[in-house]
C-alpha cells in the first residue's frame, strides 16, 4: 500500500506499508507493517510505479511474490491505462489493484458535506479563524504564547483533520475570540 502527502516542510513523503500473511499451525494471520518513507516529487503513474519497484527491490522484496496493490483513487495511481497500478500489473499480473476503502469513504464524506449548506458554513467559519493566524508568523507566535495550542487547517478529504481542527477550536473558543479581538482593535 502506497500513499503520498506533503509533510510540514512541504516535501512529498510517500509511505510504504506492507501487508502479508503469516501462518501458525493451521491458522493464517494478516500482518501489516510500515516499511519506509520515500521523498517523491514525481506524479505520473509510470514514475510512481518505478519508485514502487525500486523501493521493493531495495528491501529485497520480489514483485513476483506480491499479490495485491492498494492506493487511493487518483488517476495517476488507479488509472487502468497509465496509472501506477497498471504499470505494476504489467510486471506481475497476479498483483491485483484494490482501491483504498478508507480513502473512498473520506471522499464520499467530503462530497456529502459539500451538499449541506450548514456544514459548508460551519467548516468555512473554522477555516476563517485559522487563516489570519496562519498567514503571519508573528500572529502564530502570539497564538502559541497565549493559548499554548495551535489551530489546524481543514483538509478537503481527511475527516480526522477536520475533527482535530474543530477540537482545538472548541477547547479554546473564548481564548481565540479574545486574542483575535485584540488584533483587530
Bridge partner residues of 68 (DSSP): 96
Q: Cell match 505494476: residue?
A: 88
Q: What is the pLDDT of residue 9?
A: 65
Q: What is the pLDDT of residue 149?
A: 65
Task: List pLDDT tens digits, range 113-162.
Answer: 778 888 788 888 888 877 887 888 888 887 778 777 667 777 666 666 67
What pLDDT tens digit does each residue of the chain (185 aa) get? Answer: 888 777 666 677 888 888 888 999 999 998 989 999 888 777 899 999 999 999 999 999 999 999 988 887 778 888 888 999 999 999 999 999 888 766 666 666 667 777 888 878 888 888 887 788 788 888 888 777 877 766 777 766 666 667 777 777 777 777 777 777 776 66
Q: How do the domains of the chain map onto residue ranges?
A: 2-99, 112-184
CB of 149 closer than 8 Å to CB of 142: no
What predicted TM-score, i.e. pTM, was given to this entire model? 0.57
Residue 157 CB coordination number (10 Å): 13
76-111 per-residue burial string, b: 16 or more CB within 10 A, e: under 16? bbbbeeebbbbbbbeebeebebeebeebeebeeeee
Q: What is the pLDDT of residue 1?
A: 84
Amino acid at each position: 500500500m502506497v500513499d503520498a502527502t506533503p509533510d510540514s516542510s512541504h516535501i512529498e513523503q510517500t509511505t510504504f506499508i506492507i501487508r502479508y500473511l503469516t501462518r501458525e499451525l493451521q491458522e493464517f494471520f494478516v500482518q501489516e507493517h510500515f516499511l519506509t518513507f520515500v521523498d517523491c516529487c514525481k506524479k505520473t503513474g509510470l514514475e510512481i510505479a518505478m519508485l514502487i519497484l525500486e523501493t521493493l527491490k531495495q528491501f529485497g522484496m520480489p514483485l513476483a511474490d506480491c499479490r495485491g496493490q492498494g492506493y487511493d483513487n487518483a488517476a495517476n495511481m488507479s488509472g487502468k491505462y497509465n496509472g501506477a497500478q497498471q504499470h505494476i500489473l504489467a510486471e506481475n499480473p497476479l498483483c491485483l489493484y484494490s482501491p483504498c476503502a478508507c480513502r473512498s469513504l473520506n471522499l464520499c464524506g467530503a462530497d456529502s458535506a459539500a451538499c449541506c449548506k450548514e456544514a459548508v458554513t460551519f467548516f468555512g467559519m473554522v477555516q476563517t479563524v485559522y487563516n489570519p493566524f496562519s498567514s503571519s508568523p508573528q500572529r502564530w507566535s502570539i497564538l502559541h504564547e497565549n493559548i499554548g495550542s495551535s489551530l489546524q487547517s481543514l483538509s478537503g478529504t481527511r475527516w480526522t483533520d477536520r475533527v482535530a481542527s474543530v477540537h482545538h477550536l472548541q477547547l479554546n473558543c473564548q481564548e481565540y475570540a479574545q486574542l483575535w479581538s485584540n488584533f483587530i482593535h
